[in-house]
Amino acid sequence: MTPTQRCSALVPLILLLGAGRLPAQAHGQGYTQADVHFMSGMIAHHAQAVLMGGWAPTHGASASIRLLCERIVVGQQDEIRFMQAWLRDRHETVPEPEPSYGGMMPGMDHDMLMPGMLTSAQLAQLDSARGPDFDRLFLTFMISHHEGALTMVRELLGTPGAAQDGAVFQFATGVGADQTVEIDRMTRMLAALPRADTRPDPH
C-alpha cells in the first residue's frame, strides 16, 4: 500500500468516528482502558523512535537524515511529555520511556511486540551501521516503525467507546496525519539513496 493509499484509508475512519464523537463528560470518567493502553504503549513506541533518531549525529548520518532525526526526536519527546501528563492527570500509571527492551512493553512476550517496533537484533543492526548504511537502515526501519503507529491509531479508533476523550482523539488523529506525511517523505528519501549491496535484516 502506498503512503497516499494509507492516508486515504485512515482519513475516512477518522472522519467517520469523529462525526459520532460525544463530549467526554457524557461518558463518566471520559476515557477507557483502551485509551490508557494506547497512551502507555505509544510512550514506549515514541521512545524507541527517539533512541533511533538520537544515533544520527554519532553514526555518520547525512545532513538530510540528521535534520529528519532532529525533528523526530524533538517532536516525539514533546508528545511523550503530553502522554505522560495525560496519564498523570487521570491518576493512571505513568511509564517512563524505556526503549532498551527491543520493542516490548515490560513483561510482554515476544509475540506481543507492538506494531512497527524494532527487535533487539534490529536495534543492534542499526546501531552498528555507519554513514550511507545507517541512512538506508534508518529510513527502512523508521518507515516500518511509523506504519506500526498508524496501526495502533486505527486499532484505537476502531475500538468501541475508545477515543471519546477529546484530547485522546485529537492526539491520535494528529499522530496518524503527521506520521503518514513523514512516511511519504522518508519513502522518497529512501528511493533517492544510491543502491546498496546489503539489505536490512527483516527479522
- Residue 93 lies inside a defined structural domain of this protein: yes
- Residue 61 lies inside a defined structural domain of this protein: yes
pLDDT of residue 196: 66
- Residue 106 lies inside a defined structural domain of this protein: yes
Record the pTM: 0.80
pLDDT of residue 29: 67
* Helix, coil or strand: residue 73: helix
Low-confidence ranges of the chain (pLDDT < 70): 1-29, 99-112, 196-203
The number of distinct structural domains making up the chain is: 1
- Residue 201 lies inside a defined structural domain of this protein: no
- Residue 199 lies inside a defined structural domain of this protein: no
pLDDT of residue 12: 43
pLDDT of residue 203: 53
- Residue 200 lies inside a defined structural domain of this protein: no
pLDDT of residue 96: 86
For residue 145, the enclosing domain spans: 29-192
Q: Are 137 and 126 in contact (CB under 8 A)?
A: yes
Residues 73-117 have pLDDT tens digits of: 999 999 999 999 999 999 999 998 875 444 444 444 444 578 999
pLDDT of residue 108: 45
- Residue 24 lies inside a defined structural domain of this protein: no
Give the burial class of 152: count Cβ atoms within 10 A of its Cβ; 0-12 exposed, 13-18 middle, 19 or more buried.
Answer: buried
Instruction: CATH number of the domain at 178, please.
Output: 1.20.1260.10
SS3 string of 75-97? HHHHHHHHHHHHHHHCCCCCCCC
